Structure 1
Amino acid sequence: MRDTPLVCASFMLKLEDVVRDNLVKIHSRWPGRDRRYRQLFDNGFAEHEQLPHEIPIKFIERETSRGTYVVQQLHGVYIGDRLTDNINEPDDYRFHDVFHLAYAAHLGWSPVIRALLKVKRKSNPKIDENEDGARAMIIEEGIATWIFNHAKKRAFYEDVSVGKLDYGLLKQIHSMVSGYEVDSCPLWQWEQAILDGFRVFRELRKPEHRGGTVIVNMTNHTLTFKPPSRVAL
């Protein structure tokens, strides 16, 4: 720290600017008790262009002669495509849509879920094309896959507590969403979304569950898991 003024002078930087930027970074990662969520990105849009404030998605695993897959239901209606692991060694990636639900709950952001539920913000062509479009969805899917591969080598973050997730991982994610609305979300919100998503993912993949219902509450920023009900024979 004693060398900081000298380093700043060497690179023609203002010391107060460096200190301020560092404080912003620290608060973004470790906010202490000041954990205030920003307002939802679709506030002010018509209801049919908003992510529902409660989203109960039922994950159902099925087996066929060709393999195992997962389908999803919303209020009894099937949505999306059949999902498989898409890898030689099964790893339950078929349940990965839970991560998109976690992004919706804790970031108020998920172009993937927005497209799935058909609530794109079409009244604003620029937002519809850029924030809710194909590129944003590809970025979100890429983030989910990249984090999944990182987590798979670490017991799906079972022993990672809040404030302990790899800082480098969070910084890389932040750089991947640069230029998009979610860029305004601090790193602690990303950490909350990631850890909560994997908490529920671990429930979905348990042998005694192999599915269940995941409930997003956008108002309270929560992700709740309900085990599947088994019909007694």
Structure 2
Amino acid sequence: MDDFIPLSVQEYSKDALATDVQRDAESLNFPLLGLFGEVGSLLSEVKKKQRDPIAYRAYAAAVTEELGDVLWYFNLVASRGGISLAEVVTNLASGDGDWKPASDKTITFEALQPAVLKTLKTPSKKFEETLIELAAKVGLLMADQSNRDLLRDRSRLGPLLVAFLETLIRAANEAGVTLEAAAVKNRTKTTDRWPIQKEVSGFFDGDAPPEEQLPRKLQIEIFEREVNGKLYVFQTCNGLNIGDRLTDNAMTEDDYRFHDVFHYAYVAVLGWSPVTRSLFRLKRKSASKIDEAQDGARAALIEEGITTWIFGQAIEMEFFKDLKAGDLPFDLLKQIHQFVNGYEPEACPAWLWEEAILQGYAAFRYLRENRRGTITIDAANRRLEIEPLP
């Protein structure tokens, strides 16, 4: 740990603001609503712990994450109000004195909590009271925004932000959480979803023999055909039939029989798909552990489970029609990460999962409309394309 570099308030603030997808907005309404909601989520985590202290083992991580989310929105409120996070920190000990400009010195989160707390304790009654006080501080901000324009009254906004941050630091101390840990976790999460610069790692099977690698460039023809009065989806590749003919396997038709395009999207964008490996006989037999754990039946079931679960969400959202990068619900992408925990695609950032999903559903919508098409896997460019099939 000797090479650990403490995170500064200034660095966190800059990185957090870079992940604000509404960077051109000026209103305080959005960040205040977000701050209000995240404080509510923080209270909810404590409530869960109180209600079920034995079963709720995710408390420590959840509180740290929620504190980080609170900090993100708090930073945005300050920025939209023309006040830097460093400026708020500089005025923490000012009391009712004159407002001071931000310090030129680097301010670390560690300096806000000199007594480093390494273990998360069961929330005390005092912690509960502090969280209620924190909620009240948000209420004051919301009330002032409702009654007047805080953007035009910087002298009013500044002290309210200082009072909130003082209470937030106290809450973190009483929870046994460092704001630095919360900030680091939040920065990792937000840049995973909204990266400052998109970078993609190499393929998971890059070291495998060529005959065990997922296709980097491949065309697959997908079409619907009636057999004995029933519609099936067929697939061919290089003139050969692949896989089984598919139906929806549902009481109500929903065109899920075209769902293999989602697996092909995972291949093209993520470089992952145990289902496709099985279909094309590309399991990594030369590495027995990888073959068993990453390419086996359990991994394939997880992929099918994710695909089915996403499909259920997509039905409610018109199969993600008109959605672009950055529009998929963050909660959906976080849930996917939980699904694949322990498997190769856990290394794929949320934004890349979004690319795979949106490209897969663009192809799916095309097939729903045209009932046939030619899929092109272009893994080198992380693209899945579809064009007409004569």
Verify same fold: TM over 0.5: yes
For the pair 1:157 / 2:300, whether they are aligned, the reply is: no
AA at the equivalent of 1:16: E
SS in 2 for 1:104: helix
Verify: 1:217 aligned to 2:378, yes or no. Answer: yes
Match of 1:51 among 211, 214, 224: 214
Report the CA distance between 1:66 and its aligned residue.
4.2
What is the rounded CA distance, in whole Å, between the counterparts of 1:99 and 1:217 in structure 2? 14
Which of 286, 291, 301 matches 1:138?
A: 301
In structure 1, what is the equivalent of residue 257 of structure 2? 94
Q: Which AA in structure 2 matches 1:96?
A: H
2:184 pairs with 8, 20, 33, which one?
Answer: 20
In 1, the alpha carbon distance for the partners of 2:187 and 2:168 equals 15
2:194 is matched with which residue: 6, 30, 33? Answer: 30
The 3-state SS of whatever aligns with 1:80 is coil
CA RMSD for the aligned pairs? 1.1
Show CA shifts across 1:196-231 (max 9, x none).
10011111111xx211111011111011111111xx
Q: Which has the higher helix share?
A: 2
**Aligned residue in 2 for 1:196:** 359
Unaligned 5+ runs, structure 2: 1-73, 75-164
Aligned residue in 1 for 2:310 = 147
- Cα distance, 1:149 vs structure 2: 1.2
Shift of 1:106: 1.1
**Matches of 1:4 and 1:24, distance apart in 2:** 21
Matched, 1:11 2:175: yes
SS in 1 for 2:327: coil
**Closer, same or farther: CA 116–18 of 1 in aligned 2, 3 Å:** same
Matched residue pairs, number? Answer: 226
Question: Which moves more between the two structures, 10-19 or 67-76?
Answer: 10-19
Counterparts in 2 of 1:112-123, with a 5 A limit? 112-123=275-286
User: How much has 1:37 moved relative to structure 2?
Assistant: 1.1
Q: Displacement of 1:36 after TM fit? A: 1.1
Q: Supply the distance in 2 between the matched residues of 1:61 and 1:220 (Cα, whole angstroms).
A: 28
- Describe the SS at the equivalent of 2:291: helix
Q: Which amino acid aligns with 1:176?
A: F
Cα deviation digits, residues 34-56 of structure 1 (max 9, x gap): 11111100011110010121121
Match of 2:242 among 66, 79, 82: 79
Partner AA of 1:224 in structure 2: E
Tell me the distance in 2 between the aligned counterparts of 1:11 and 1:66: 65
Which whole-Å CA distance do the structure 2 matches of 1:163 and 1:69 have between them? 35
The alpha carbon displacement at 1:115 in A equals: 0.9
Q: 1 CA distance for matches of 2:299 and 2:211?
A: 20
1:183 matched to 2:343: no
Which contiguous aligned blocks of 4+ residues in structure 1 show a shift greater than 6 angstroms?
A: none
Q: 2: CA distance between counterparts of 1:197 and 1:4?
A: 42
Larger radius of gyration: 2
Distance in 2 (CA, whole Å) between partners of 1:60 and 1:181 is 31
Paired position in structure 2 for 1:166:
329
Question: Which residue, 250, 256, 273 being the options, matches 1:110?
Answer: 273
Alpha carbons of structure 1 residues 4 and 75: separation in structure 2 relative to 1, 3 Å? farther
In the alignment, the residues of structure 1 paired with residue 362 and residue 333 of structure 2 have an alpha-carbon distance, to the nearest angstrom, of 18
1:91 and 1:228 mapped to 2: Cα distance? 22
Q: 1:228 maps to which residue?
A: 389
1:55 partner letter: L
State TM-score, norm by structure 1: 0.94
Q: Which runs of 5+ in 1 are unaligned?
A: none
Partner of 2:236, secondary structure, is strand
